[in-house]
Amino acid sequence: MRFPAQFCSIGLLCGAALSGAAQSGPGVRVVDARTHRPLPYASVGVPGRPLGTVADAQGSFQPTQMGAAPTDTLVVSCVGYQSRRLPLAALRQLPEVLLLPQVPALGEVVVKAATWKRRRVGREATGGGVVCNFHTRADTLPSAKLGREGGAILRVRPHSFIEDVHVYISQSRFQGVRFRLNVRAVDANNHPAASLLTQDVQFALPDSARGWQHIDLRPYNVNVGAEARVAVTLEWLAGQPTPGKPTTWRDWPSVLVPAAFSATHRLVFRHKSEDAWQVQPVNLSLYITTASPD
């Protein structure tokens, strides 16, 4: 059965934006505890709730823009670092949040490339009758999208390396879009769990991008360890709608990824970095190249 084209209201499109209006106040900067260098686009969120934000390119964010109560506990995190939990009331008193580098759980693996077999895993089709959008009609502020994350669960052979990621963009009416790419373990509930990355992977989407976007992971030495399934996700870090007032629904601000309903594949998404994960029977146009010993 072919489903009619529609926005993926069961996926990234669903839910109202809960970020509050921009408010003035002192900013907080997220920095490396050892080097004291800022951590660009660090994530901030309230566990289990769609509240949070993302720091800017200088590692700064406004605690007042998350819609959280002073008694709420916030988690400040960045790939490759130990996360920190602290009440919003305490966070507001700090000029900086220091994150310690995380000790890699996986040791370095050295192999001869000729002994490994390469495979493509995921969806290479670009149609499907469904599109998933990182933008929603309720997103009246750019900050509403910050920290929104979605992706696909993929089966891999244990101890594989992930060499690259390809995601298809069918339409982009934003400029200055920046994503964080993450590779996570998957728990028994099909929910993404701990990150398998030791370094932060970010990439910029060309303005008005269309077609397959390629993210090279070879410099990052991404090994899945004993995992047989991984979640490959994109987290929205920055972006502004293309200037101009929409005249038709086709001009509506959007970053669209095609997909198809599927009984065997799963889309995962959440609205903020510490929000509860949601899972839907949808197959995104996203695939990876793996290298494994068999």
113, pLDDT greater than 90: no
Are the beta carbons of 257 and 269 closer than 8 angstroms? no
For tokens 């590692």, the residue is 59
> pLDDT band at residue 1, thresholds of 50, 70 and 90?
very low
C-beta atoms surrounding 171 within 10 Å: 17
Q: What is the CA radius of gyration of the chain?
A: 19
What spatial distance separates the first Cα and last Cα of the chain, rounded to whole Å? 36
Assigned token pair, 60 = 């700064």
CATH 2.60.40.1120 fits 28-99, yes or no: yes
Q: What are the pLDDT digits (tens) for 144-164?
A: 789 999 999 999 999 999 999
> pLDDT band at residue 140, thresholds of 50, 70 and 90?
low
Q: Give the CATH architecture of domain 6-14+107-292.
A: Sandwich (2.60)
Q: Where are the domains of the chain?
A: 6-14+107-292, 28-99
State residue 7's pLDDT score.
38
Q: What are the pLDDT digits (tens) for 256-275?
A: 999 999 999 999 999 999 99
> pLDDT band at residue 281, thresholds of 50, 70 and 90?
very high
State residue 104's pLDDT score.
66
CA-to-CA dists, residue 226 to 42, 66, 77, angstroms: 28, 37, 24
Average pLDDT estimate for 78-97: 95
135, pLDDT greater than 80: no
Contacts of 286 (CB under 8 A, 6+ apart): 122, 123, 151, 152, 165, 166, 167, 168, 232, 257
Q: What are phi and psi of 83, to 5 degrees?
A: -75, 160
- The pLDDT > 90 percentage for the chain reads 71
The reply to whether the predicted model has a pTM over 0.85 is yes
DSSP string, 201-266: EEEEEPTT--EEEEEE-GGGTEE-TT-SEEEEEEEEEEEEEPSS---SGGGS--EEEEEEE-SS--
State residue 66's pLDDT score.
84
Q: What are the pLDDT digits (tens) for 8-62?
A: 543 444 333 333 333 445 689 999 999 999 999 999 999 999 999 999 999 999 9
> pLDDT band at residue 2, thresholds of 50, 70 and 90?
very low
State residue 4's pLDDT score.
35
State residue 141's pLDDT score.
64
If 0-12 CB within 10 Å is exposed, 13-18 middle and 19+ buried, where does residue 83 land?
A: middle
In sequence order, the β-bridge partners of residue 253 are none
Q: Using CA atoms, how far apart are residues 33 and 36, in angstroms rounded to an integer?
A: 5
> pLDDT band at residue 243, thresholds of 50, 70 and 90?
confident
The closest alpha carbon to 82, from 175, 195, 170, belongs to 195
State residue 136's pLDDT score.
73
State residue 122's pLDDT score.
98
Q: What are the pLDDT digits (tens) for 151-201?
A: 999 999 999 999 999 999 999 989 999 999 999 999 999 999 999 999 999
